[in-house]
Amino acid sequence: MTIRSLAEVGVRLEKAVEALPGEAATPADLYDRYEMLATAILDSEFENYPDDMLKEYLTAYLYLKRLELGIQLDCEE
């Protein structure tokens, strides 16, 4: 498994979110779309990656997306 293949997961996630119908009303709604699709990717592709590599990548990706969208993190509440 290469970093490139993980980056491709991120690209597919971005494209999948963009392809969803309608617009997210808030940053939190947009984040929910990312989270929903990341879960679907993890469920369908986890066996293609060693150990928890895909899970760790998607967790980090979603963390950075929350920061980008300005969504308060759970530990900050």
Amino acid letter for position 68 = E
Give the predicted TM-score (pTM) of the model: 0.87
**Number of independent structural domains in the chain:** 1
Give 25-66 pLDDT, tens digit per residue.
999 999 999 999 999 999 999 888 988 999 999 999 999 999
Classify residue 34 as exposed, middle or buried by CB count within 10 Å of its CB (0-12, 13-18, 19+): buried
Residues written for the chain: 77
Q: Which domain holds residue 38?
A: 3-72
Q: Is residue 65 part of a domain?
A: yes
- Cα separation, 77 vs 66, in Å, equals 14
d(CA 53, CA 27): 27
77 domain residue, yes or no: no
Contact 20, 45 (CB under 8 A): no
In a domain, 35, yes or no: yes
